[in-house]
Amino acid sequence: MPQPKRPRHLGVIMDGNGRWARARGLPRLAGHREGAARARDIVRWAADAGIAEISLYAFSTENWARPEEEVRGLMALLAQLLPREIPEMQKEGVRLVALGDVDRLPARARRALQRAIAATRENRRITLALCLNYGGQQEIVEGVKRALAWALAAEDPQARIAELTPERFRRFLWRAELAPVDLIIRTGGELRISNFHLWDAAYAELYFTDTLWPDFTRAEFEQALADFAARERRFGRISEQVRR
Ligand code: IPE
Ligand code: IPE
Ligand code: MG
């Protein structure tokens, strides 16, 4: 039996925590707490499915605009939950990395993140890129700045600039060592990318579901993978060319 096609790098826009809580008459933070439990679940499911890399969108550059109490609550949740997750990450072989401008996180959250990253750096089963203060446009602008600095440091900056192609530019993005995202799952019913992995979204497959993130199940995760496996990724070619 041939193995089904799996994404190498899965991205997840974990949306719908607030609506999940509101439907239960609970504060939004209760939704984020339940959402964090699903985040833990999906990393385990992904590792079991043989997925090498998973990006979880936990806090966008735009999410700072939320009510101060919610932002504070989210940051506190991060600082509280990350240390507790370390044993499980060790057991499951999860290597944690951060994606985003994490220097802007409050000190407690940043320290918890750094500790968890350091503790799990030798793990090899799956890489979890936690997207915190992440914005795809910001990532590209930072990449442009780095590319320019690299060009200007050369004897012939014009030549370096002229040599830039999309393939060469990608290495200036944050965490360029991660493979391009092949599948993006978005829960919560919105049909948009919300500034997530913009560069890779050029050719990522998209899976949208109305399910609110805290209600996301393993069965639906398997459904998204089955859906992905059945898609034909043509990258601009025609069917006959990619089918061989
Ligand atoms: C996503 O859930 C989690 C974060 C953005 C942190 P939301 O909080 O956006 O939930 P809804 O969209 O309001 O239901
Ligand atoms: C996207 O969800 C960000 C995360 C899941 C962290 P949002 O709820 O912030 O997205 P918009 O504002 O509806 O586009
Ligand atoms: Mg939302």
> Can you give the pLDDT at residue 63?
98
- For a substitution probing ligand 1, which of 13, 14, 17 has the most ligand atoms within 8 Å of its CB? 17
In a domain, 241, yes or no: no
The arrangement of strands across the sheet holding 94-99 comes to 94-99, 126-134, 53-60, 9-13, 183-186, 205-208
**Is the confidence at residue 238, as pLDDT, over 70?**
yes
The alpha carbon of 23 and the centre of ligand 1 are apart by a number of angstroms equal to: 13
- Rounded CA separation 14/104 (Å): 21
Question: Which of 152, 57, 55 lies closest to 95, judged by CA?
Answer: 55
Domain count, the chain: 1
**Is the confidence at residue 1, as pLDDT, over 90?**
no
In a domain, 244, yes or no: no
Confidence of residue 3 (pLDDT cuts 50, 70, 90): confident
Ligand with the closest atom to the CA of 132 = 2
What number is the average pLDDT over the span 43-64? 98
The alpha carbon of 242 and the centre of ligand 2 are apart by a number of angstroms equal to: 34
Confidence of residue 4 (pLDDT cuts 50, 70, 90): confident
Non-local (6+) Cβ contacts of 233 within 8 A are 182, 203, 205, 242
**Is the confidence at residue 37, as pLDDT, over 90?**
yes
Averaged confidence pLDDT in the chain: 97
What is the extent of the structural domain holding 14?
9-135+180-229
Q: Is 58 in the pocket of ligand 2 (CB under 6 A)?
A: yes
Atom 10 in ligand 2: residue holding the nearest Cα: 194
**Is the confidence at residue 46, as pLDDT, over 90?**
yes
In a domain, 103, yes or no: yes
The tokens for 170 are 């990608």
**Is the confidence at residue 232, as pLDDT, over 90?**
yes
Q: Is 60 in the pocket of ligand 2 (CB under 6 A)?
A: yes
The tokens for 120 are 């799990």
The 10s digit of each residue's pLDDT in 138-177 is 999 999 999 999 999 999 999 999 999 999 999 999 988 9
Non-local (6+) Cβ contacts of 112 within 8 A are 78, 79, 80, 82, 83
In a domain, 173, yes or no: no
In a domain, 157, yes or no: no
What number is the average pLDDT over the span 15-35? 98
pTM over 0.85? The answer is: yes
CATH number (domain holding residue 93): 3.40.1180.10
In a domain, 171, yes or no: no
The alpha carbon of 102 and the centre of ligand 2 are apart by a number of angstroms equal to: 18
The ligand 2 atom nearest the CA atom of 58: 6
pLDDT over 90 for what percent of the chain? 97
- Rounded CA separation 20/35 (Å): 9
Residues tagged active-site: 15, 63
- Rounded CA separation 205/120 (Å): 29
- For a substitution probing ligand 2, which of 190, 191, 213 has the most ligand atoms within 8 Å of its CB? 190
Confidence of residue 244 (pLDDT cuts 50, 70, 90): confident
In a domain, 237, yes or no: no
In a domain, 42, yes or no: yes
Confidence of residue 113 (pLDDT cuts 50, 70, 90): very high
